[in-house]
Amino acid sequence: MALQFHQSSGSNTNVMEIEPVYISPLPMKNKSVEAIPMPTPPDSPVRRTSSDEEKQIDDSASPTPLMAAGVKERWNYPRSNTPRVAACFYSFVVMGANDAAYGLQEYYRLSYIIISLVFLSPFVGYTVAAFLNNIFHTRFGRRGVAFIASFSHLVSYIIIGVHPPYPVLVIAFALAGFGNGIADAGWNAFIGNMDRANELLGLLHGLYGAGAVISPLIATTMITKAGLPWYAFYYLMIGLAGLEIVVTGICFWGATAREYRDSVAASSGTSSGGLKEVLFKKPGARVAWLCAIFLLGYVGIEVALGGWIVEFMIQVRHGGAFESGLTATGFWLGLTIGRLVLGFVTPKIGEKLAIMIYLPITVAFELLFWLVPQFIVSAVAVGLQGFFIGPLFPAAIVAMSKLLPHHLHVSAIGFAAAFGGSGAAVLPFAVGAIAQAKGVQVLQPIILALLVAIFLVWCGLPRIGKKKD
């Protein structure tokens, strides 16, 4: 401390002037207590930063301010999410149109078993996608995912459109399945982490159902009314896939690999999350396997029922071809409406409880369908089955996003989607093989058994708490 003494000329009193001392604050042991700001000396080299400068420092230190601040993204926040969600919706319309359009048996003149390879080949593509989903996200970001998925669609539709020899056609459908697997995991994980995910995923998968409803009608009209060959429908699919590249590419152009890695690291503390960790590391492995088996059964039910219902209604319920075809349309329409409507109900009662309510109701309508041998009753019952199983896939995705850490979402959802894809390939194939030997009436006990099985699998999931915002 510096002291200066001044003596007044008219007084014996000595005046002592003390220079101010600037003390730096002591280090705080408890970091949660905010340090008290100390005055800065006028001539100190330390300069106060302005509020704008502080904001720049904070922004540069945190490349993902939304995640760091714990603010959950919404479909319209940040602004870039609005076109990205719309692009995901369009991608799912293309995927739905792809999955519902086949018409090959008469052209290639092959047996049902050989023709059914086009149902099995997409599973190969889904399986390859399951191993590569996380790698594509971390190396190329969602921008790369958008391009790879849509480009795979475009190439596969071009190959199918030129109606090559049948073995090449099988490879083309496998490539389409690969594109679906990449998009399925990427867009489900992206939207499943947003606020009001049940409603958004219900709309996403509802648009998939809409594509599955509309495409057979378009393909049938082109073939029966316009007299075009079956592959002419894929000329339309080429145009849709080309537009998909443009739409998803533009909307996700800023979604780089760095953005994805930073968002995962900010929420989970790590940017890793490969398939090995998903499948073999507890407790996440339990959730991943149970949800994958659940989706295996669910997608198998959906595709087997939607694919074989026409033949069942013709042979067992003795309906006309047109009326029986409308029954299949009613099933897909019920599934689409169920995803849209029940997507608003599911979050209010919770995903686990909701599915435990929807499945017994579906079982009741399945019993009605099977045991009451009337065409109208069966048609109404199958439409209501579609309505109540519609929200099962979106609810399972939301459950996985709540039960698993963020860095495992892409790998886990990709693996579960691949398992679901195997259900779409293997179970309808198995139903067809059994139907050839025992008759198409075996469809109903098989569907009933699968409904009970996936209900028991779902009961094995842990309790799903509310996701922290």
- Whether 44 is in a domain gets the answer no
SS3 for the chain is CCEEEEECCCCCCEEEEECCCCCCCCCCCCCCCCCCCCCCCCCCCCCCCCHHHHHHHHHHHCCCHHHHCCCCCECCECCCHHHHHHHHHHHHHHHHHHHCCCCCHHHHCCCHHHHCHHHHHHHHHHHHHHHHHHHHHHHHHHHHHHHHHHHHHHHHHHHHHCCCCHHHHHHHHHHHHHHHHHHHHHHHHHHHCCCCHHHHHHHHHHHHHHHHHHHHHHHHHHHHHCCCCHHHHHHHHHHHHHHHHHHHHHHCCCCCHHHHHHHHHHHHCCCCCCHHHHHHCCCHHHHHHHHHHHHHHHHHHHHHHHHHHHHHHHHCCCCCHHHHHHHHHHHHHHHHHHHHHHCCCHHHHCHHHHHHHHHHHHHHHHHHHHHCCCHHHHHHHHHHHHHHHCCHHHHHHHHHHHHCCHHHHHHHHHHHHHHHHHHHHHHHHHHHHHHHHHCHHHHHHHHHHHHHHHHHHHHCCCCCCCCCC
Higher pLDDT, 99 or 24: 99
- Whether 37 is in a domain gets the answer no
pLDDT digit string, tens, across residues 92-107: 999 988 865 566 767 8
Model confidence band, residue 28 (pLDDT cutoffs 50, 70, 90): very low
Q: Are strands 3-7 and 14-18 parallel, antiparallel or unpaired?
A: antiparallel
Higher pLDDT, 87 or 222: 87
- Whether 315 is in a domain gets the answer yes
Q: What is the pLDDT of residue 282?
A: 82
Rounded Cα–Cα distance for residues 369 and 380 (Å): 8
* Average pLDDT of the chain to the nearest whole number: 81
Is the pLDDT assigned to residue 33 strictly greater than 70? no
Q: What is the pLDDT of residue 201?
A: 93
- Whether 314 is in a domain gets the answer yes
* pTM check: above 0.75: yes
Q: What is the CATH number of the domain that holds 273?
A: 1.20.1250.20
pLDDT digit string, tens, across residues 104-133: 767 888 776 677 777 778 888 988 998 899
Rounded Cα–Cα distance for residues 267 and 279 (Å): 21
Residue 327: both structure tokens together: 């029954």
Pick from 43-52, 230-239, 290-299, 368-377: least confident: 43-52
Average pLDDT (1-5) is 47
- Whether 13 is in a domain gets the answer no
> How many percent of the chain have pLDDT more than 90?
45
pLDDT digit string, tens, across residues 282-322: 878 999 999 999 999 999 898 888 878 888 898 899 898 88
Host domain of residue 142: 84-459
Compute the Cα dihedral for 350, 351, 354, 360 and give only its sign: negative
Average pLDDT (75-92) is 95
> How many percent of the chain have pLDDT more than 70?
80
- Whether 395 is in a domain gets the answer yes
Q: What is the pLDDT of residue 82?
A: 96
Average pLDDT (182-193) is 91
Higher pLDDT, 146 or 15: 146
Model confidence band, residue 233 (pLDDT cutoffs 50, 70, 90): very high
Q: What is the pLDDT of residue 58?
A: 39
Q: What is the pLDDT of residue 381?
A: 96
Average pLDDT (401-407) is 87
Domain count, the chain: 1
- Whether 63 is in a domain gets the answer no
- Whether 184 is in a domain gets the answer yes
Q: What is the pLDDT of residue 99?
A: 67
